[in-house]
Amino acid sequence: MRILFCGDVVGRAGRRAIQDRLPALRRTLDVDIVIVNGENAAGGYGITAAICDEIFGAGADAITTGNHVWDQREIVAHFDVERRLLRPHNYPPGTPGSGAALIRGRDDRDVLVLHVMGRLYMDALDDPFAAVERELAACRLGETASAIVLDVHAEASSEKMALAHFVDGRVSLVVGTHTHVPTADAQILPGGTAYQTDAGMCGDYDSVIGMNKDMSVERFVRKMPTGRLEPAQGEATLCAVLVETDDRTGLARRIEPVRVGGRLAEQMPARATAAV
């Protein structure tokens, strides 16, 4: 099975990259399922129902979020009707929505998409390790699900790495989101789980993590409020991770970063030859 995970979509530029690039990427890479982190898609702050439809229409099968999940108030009710939209699973019981869903991929194979948020330098949510452990006890790789993808939305790379080693051999892919910078540590852990600390973002890299660079720099220089930060609007780089799993075990056989468009150096899997 081939899984494509796209990093945080930031503003209109990131949405354009998804609309323009994802359909061709899905064909070129022969992808079975696509997961997109959309938590910054609505002007940099959260996501709306209309933007969810836009991302699904471009070829996504599931959308994860993060610490900006509730920024657009209208989205709260949408979690009750759109099971493919996930909020972090370690929110307290009774929070709308869920952070885990079995998503039907190509050839009718089910993929468990699991999404948690870290606690280091983030909101004090429930224990993400315990939340993941409960879900993996109920849904086992190679039995209930053909593959399992865990999106760890966290600030600290140490927390992301620790979670990856915690689930090594029980999950197909652990990928970090939130910091918006693609890391150079794509690897397969000893137990067979693919891992990358951060997928990067789908956004304009002539920016400060996707936001207008002049406003962001002014905040650091003057140490005074500058008003609401706005996303940069130049050409975006679509940053993603491609994972190929073993059909028998569900564990990873291959992981490769994907980068197309914008300012960052392009990176495509060696066997992908068609233009995107």
Active site members: 68
For 231, which DSSP code?
B
Q: Where are the alpha helices (DSSP H) in 70-222?
A: 75-78, 128-138, 157-167, 213-222
Give the contacts of 221 (CB within 8 A, at least 6 positions apart): none
CA 147 to chain centre: 16
Any residues with CB less than 8 A from the CB of 230 and at least 6 apart, and which?
A: 11, 43, 44, 211, 212, 215
| CA–CA gap between residue 197 and residue 154 (Å, rounded) | 10
Using left for φ > 0, alpha for ψ between -120 and 50, and beta otherwise, residue 218 falls in alpha
- 208: phi then psi, degrees, rounded to nearest 5: -115, 100
Q: Which amino acid is at 41?
A: A
